[in-house]
Amino acid sequence: MFDPVDYTKKYSDLYRDEAFETILVKIRRKHVLASLQKHNHQNILEIGCGLEPLFPYCEHYETYTIVEPSEEFVQHAKALSSGKDKIHVVQGFFEEAYKQLLGKKDFNFVICSGLLHQVPDPVALLQSIYQLCSDSTVVHINVPNVFSFHIVLALEMGIIDDIFEKSETDIELQRYTRFDKESLFRIVEEDGFQILASGTYFIKLFTNEQMDKILKMGIVDMSIINGLERMIKYLPDMGSEMFVDVKRK
């Protein structure tokens, strides 16, 4: 069973201590916002906001709803949104909390960022999201990619025996499922969604811990990070994370 208290502490420590984690958050956010800008988004739903909800970076919305199980992350989101009547924060696991939102508003855009691999039952999460979607709602989902360059490199070096093998970070942060493109496509399609767009982003050379060390040592700087991000056009399936934009069939 997912423990939000344990996850909150470990992720907060990671976010505070590792420079590379903050870089990944910014890259991920850029791709979420790029998808959002392509679609109607008057009423936005974000599932699991973590330490950095996306509403400070969004424009031209009428309402913004967050559902988040962690007490610490909920209080942080409420503090950030203080005085902003457009923003509503609900504490709870989405698979139950979504019932509070049924019939209250039509969501145009749903953000499920860095979450599907984190829950013990991704099918239940997708089915809950489906219940809140109209035929025009677009859902953005992103997850780590098991065919990430750094994982394939570890496989070819003999460090791991299987790209689906869980890493230490996966275990520590209670990640339940590892996805490749095929399994991600299959699970969303089986739960009643059709894929509008997909892709991967950011060529990660090594593990987060190793990337953090070489950043702090000055071996890698932001010019290299920016180059690795742009290199995705040469290795389009090997980004460290992948996304799908979907809607109901």
**CATH code of residue 135:** 3.40.50.150
Is residue 133 predicted with pLDDT exceeding 70?
Answer: yes
In a domain, 132, yes or no: yes
Is residue 7 predicted with pLDDT exceeding 70?
Answer: no
Other C-beta atoms lying within 10 Å of the C-beta of residue 162 = 10
In a domain, 34, yes or no: yes
Q: What are phi and psi of 16, to 5 degrees?
A: -75, -40
In a domain, 47, yes or no: yes
Range of 55's domain? Answer: 4-145+168-202+240-248
Whether the CB-CB separation of 9 and 221 falls below 8 Å is answered with: no
In a domain, 213, yes or no: no
In a domain, 67, yes or no: yes
- Nearest-angstrom CA–CA distance, 228 and 211: 12
- Cα dihedral sign for 188, 189, 192, 197? positive
Task: Give the model's pLDDT for residue 179.
Answer: 96
In a domain, 120, yes or no: yes
Whether the CB-CB separation of 194 and 138 falls below 8 Å is answered with: no
In a domain, 219, yes or no: no
Is residue 89 predicted with pLDDT exceeding 80?
Answer: yes
Q: Answer with the residue of higher pLDDT: 3 or 20.
A: 20
- 41-62 confidence digits (pLDDT tens): 999 999 999 889 999 999 899 9
Task: Give the model's pLDDT for residue 10.
Answer: 54
pTM: predicted TM-score of the whole model, two decimal places? 0.91
Ramachandran sector of residue 50 (left: φ over 0; alpha: ψ -120 to 50; beta: rest):
left
Q: Answer with the residue of higher pLDDT: 175 or 144.
A: 144
The tally of domains found in the chain comes to: 1
Radius of gyration of the chain (CA): 18
Task: Give the model's pLDDT for residue 21.
Answer: 87
- 161-209 confidence digits (pLDDT tens): 999 877 766 656 556 699 999 999 999 999 999 999 999 999 999 998 8
Whether the CB-CB separation of 21 and 14 falls below 8 Å is answered with: yes
In a domain, 14, yes or no: yes
